[in-house]
Structure 1
Amino acid sequence: MDNLEDVDSAFTLKQARMKRQEELQKEIDQINILEWYQHVNDLHDAIAKKAIELTEKEMREEGYGLAPVPYAFVVFGSSGRREATLWSDQDNGLIISDEEHPDKERFFKEFGIRLSNMLESAGYAKCEGKVMCSETLWARTLSSWREQLSEWSSDLQWEPVRYYIIAADMRHVAGDLTLSHQFQEYFSFLFESTPDLAAAVLRNTVRHKATLNILGQVVKERFGEHAGGFDVKYGMYIPLVNSGRYFSLQHSLKETNTLQRLTKLSTLEAAPSSLIEPCEKAFLITLHLRRSAQMKEDHGVLSSSGYIDQDQLRDKDTLYKLRIGLSAVKKIHRNLQRQLRFVERGRL
């Protein structure tokens, strides 16, 4: 993104984002789907880096000085996988050096809050789950991160494992890359050295919404504002993301992008091609459907329900592609359920 040189405030940062956002919306039908998502995520990274620059400048001018020790700004969720849409919210954190400095805690507490607010001003809604650099849980020193990851990996209840799974999609965006690498290395070490962790991750992975009924028909929402529509995010996208992540963790892959994970699994023959190839096709379908989900705009800020509506489902081509994608979801889900039953029997 080359139009950020003159950006000097949260307001002009939002203006720059909105301009590029409009360009990307016009490009939707003109470029390859993967190239489009690449441009979208390049935009998010560029905005984040500029927000960091502006926040650091703001704090210097207010007497906080320079960052007292090195740090890394990292992202999770769809941003961590470079699959974010134009309307994705914040999912980020900080990894702070263990170097000693008397002003470290004060500086980064303020920095995290201001940076999250800056991103919100630029059009990124705050994460409802509070996975943000403004929160103590997601902004900590490297040694504290190691302790936290160890706690999540040793407490195999639903919530700690969910947090551990979120951490699996961490991606470095700015700052000290060494800190992010050390985070990832320790994360991998824990997965490989904690015997029951894989089964706990698998239990979380197999939980998702029903997508096809016994007749092979798409399961639509029955009630509420989205009645008659289909939940693309939780009905199709998330199950594929979770499945790709689980297999990747099993085989110690470093990729965070879902399609790259699936491709690597196929290349390494780490999972049957009869399972992975349909998932690759399904994921491409999912990217198209996510992009066409119901969307609204409020003062330049986009948001989406993640649903495709009744009218879209009446389109025969859309419904056909959806059924193909959901058949792959059902197939891999059954495979993972069998794996879980096998693991659970082995523990009896």
Structure 2
Amino acid sequence: MMGSAGRQEQGIFSDQDHGIVFEGDDADYQEYFLTLGAEIREGMAIVGYPRCEGKVMASHSRWCHGKSGWEDQIDGWIHEDTWETLRHLLTFIDARALVGKRELLADVKNYVFSHIESNANLLKRLSENISYIHQGINAFGQLLPDEKGPYAGSIHMKDVGFFPYVHASRLLAIKEGLHDTSTIRRIRHVADKYAFVKNKAEHFQYLLELRTDFSNKQQTYEDVHYIPVAQLTKKQKQRLKSAIKEGKTLFQQTKKLVESGE
């Protein structure tokens, strides 16, 4: 599982993000596992998980390889060094094993970490891939909800709230060679080493809880990402503002750390 499922941070609605690492060579077994991936894709669609628009699914050859095939693809992504290929690499780092031999996935992740250790510039390039975050608060300390469209008056929790924590904790996990994919556990794992990370997990936990508080109003996959600002209490608004500010700080300081090469 990858994406929010890989990080164990799904809302009540989620699309598909999955892949397969199998034993053996691609030439011998990939066709079989791609067929299995298609069965998984369609079965999940039947029970309510939309197909991933970006095709991050085990039915796509990009996300279905033997261990050596994965290593070859990772070499290719790094060598090509484009925004898209590095984004694929970041997506893969959030993978966690759901069934099967977990060491297969662990071995491929260790292969990525070995690249990071031997290529000081690679982590910087990954950091540049996620250089932009959406602003959730203006200069006057006010929340910035969507101004028009079906979600006018609502704030996009994924872009404004979750992503600064997700992106920062992923970079730190890559830097430290951590296999854990949970944003909260990643943050807690490195908090003793990096002072600017302390207490950030609690703010991210609040964002998850706030999304859950509005789950009874969420009827579609897109609904999951939005919280109506007018329906927040004064205390909820203050805590949300605090969480957004702390996430932005975490993100900025993480990028500064990575780009310094320390």
By how many angstroms is 1:227 displaced?
1.4
**Structure 1 match to 2:94:** 169
**Structure 2 match to 1:296:** 219
Q: For residues 1-348 of structure 1, what are the structure 2 equivalents within 5 Å? A: 75-98=1-24, 104-266=29-191, 269-272=192-195, 275-291=196-212, 292=214, 294-296=217-219, 304-313=223-232, 315-339=233-257, 342=260
Relative to structure 1, the CA distance from residue 327 to residue 101 in structure 2 (aligned partners, 3 Å threshold; closer, same or farther) is closer
Q: Give the AA of the match of 1:146.
A: E
**Structure 2 match to 1:28:** none
Greater gyration radius: 1
By how many angstroms is 1:311 displaced?
2.9
Asked if structure 2 preserves the Cα contact closer than 8 Å seen for 1:154 and 1:194, the reply is no
How far does the alpha carbon of each residue in 1:255-288 deviate from its partner, in whole angstroms, 9 at most, with x for none?
111111111112xx2211xx22342121011111
Q: Give the AA of the match of 1:80.
A: G
Q: Distance in 2 between matches of 1:76 and 1:255?
A: 12
Q: Give the AA of the match of 2:238.
A: Y
Q: Distance in 1 between matches of 2:131 and 2:32?
A: 41
Asked if structure 2 preserves the Cα contact closer than 8 Å seen for 1:221 and 1:227, the reply is yes
Q: Distance in 2 between matches of 1:311 and 1:285?
A: 18
Q: Distance in 2 between matches of 1:322 and 1:283?
A: 10
* Percent identity over paired residues: 24
Instruction: Please provide the CA RMSD for this pair.
Output: 2.2
By how many angstroms is 1:252 displaced?
1.8
Q: Distance in 2 between matches of 1:337 and 1:256?
A: 19
How far does the alpha carbon of each residue in 1:217-255 deviate from its partner, in whole angstroms, 9 at most, with x for none?
222212211111101011010111111111121122221
250-259 vs 304-313, which deviates more? 304-313
By how many angstroms is 1:204 displaced?
2.3
Q: Distance in 1 between matches of 2:59 and 2:25?
A: 21
Asked if structure 1 preserves the Cα contact closer than 8 Å seen for 2:3 and 2:91, the reply is yes
Asked if structure 1 preserves the Cα contact closer than 8 Å seen for 2:19 and 2:57, the reply is yes
Unaligned runs of 5+ in 1: 1-74, 344-348
Relative to structure 1, the CA distance from residue 101 to residue 304 in structure 2 (aligned partners, 3 Å threshold; closer, same or farther) is same
By how many angstroms is 1:192 displaced?
1.7
- The total of aligned residue pairs comes to 260
Q: Give the AA of the match of 1:231.
A: H
Q: Give the AA of the match of 2:248.
A: K
Q: Distance in 2 between matches of 1:191 and 1:78?
A: 24
Unaligned runs of 5+ in 2: none
Match of 1:171, SS state, is: coil
Give 1 or 2: higher strand fraction.
Answer: 1
Greater relative contact order (Cα < 8 A, sep 6+):
2
Relative to structure 1, the CA distance from residue 77 to residue 113 in structure 2 (aligned partners, 3 Å threshold; closer, same or farther) is same
Q: Distance in 2 between matches of 1:76 and 1:106?
A: 21
Asked if structure 1 preserves the Cα contact closer than 8 Å seen for 2:11 and 2:224, the reply is no
Q: Distance in 2 between matches of 1:341 and 1:197?
A: 10
Relative to structure 1, the CA distance from residue 284 to residue 212 in structure 2 (aligned partners, 3 Å threshold; closer, same or farther) is same
Match of 1:326, SS state, is: helix
By how many angstroms is 1:172 displaced?
0.6
Match of 1:140, SS state, is: strand
Asked if structure 1 preserves the Cα contact closer than 8 Å seen for 2:123 and 2:258, the reply is no
By how many angstroms is 1:216 displaced?
2.0
